[in-house]
Amino acid sequence: MDFSRRVTELINSVPHGKVATYGQIARLAGNRRGARLVSYLLHSLSEKYDLPWYRVVNRSGKISLKPGYGYELQRQLLENEGIMFGNGDAIDLDKYGWQT
DNA sequence: CATATGACGATAT
DNA sequence: AATATCGCCATAT
């Protein structure tokens, strides 16, 4: 429970216009290997709370969702915050990464 | 209680 | 460098 609560708080702490990675959240939550849990928790928690789940991408700065299953939505939400997708589908984490 | 699962990440091939 | 495989750990069933 502690882990999931911290995850929600961390997600809520991601500044507008920035993105975090699953592994980063997991690490900050005290679980270096919990990247997968973060994704799972986002699934369930984002439906219960209103988390900015779309500010979380995988460590390559890419959206993990498949096109047609949320990819387009997330990409659009991020672009709405001023985040530009570089090479077609990747975000420049150096530039938009949280806590660079 | 045991097994399955996952919006990942690191390592091995 | 690109792809495949394994590990990790909380939830769900």
Q: Checking phi first, is residue A3 left (phi over 0); if not, alpha (psi -120 to 50) or beta?
A: alpha
Angle between helices A35-48 and A2-13 (to 10 degrees): 80
Q: What is the pTM of this model?
A: 0.92
Per residue in A12-22, pLDDT (tens digit) is: 999 999 999 99
Closest nucleotide to residue A36 (Cα to C1')? B8
Does residue A11 contact residue A25 with C-beta atoms inside 8 Å?
A: yes
Residue nearest to nucleotide C10 (CA to C1'): A37
User: In chain A, what are the domains?
Assistant: 2-96 (1.10.10.10)
State which residues between 43 and 62 of chain A bring their CB within 7 Å of strand B: 43, 46, 53, 56, 58-60
Whether the predicted pLDDT of A46 surpasses 90: no
CA gap A95, A3 in Å, rounded? 28
pLDDT recorded at residue A88: 80
Q: Average pLDDT in the A86-99 region?
A: 90
pLDDT recorded at residue A1: 72
Closest nucleotide to residue A44 (Cα to C1')? C11
CA gap A10, A55 in Å, rounded? 11
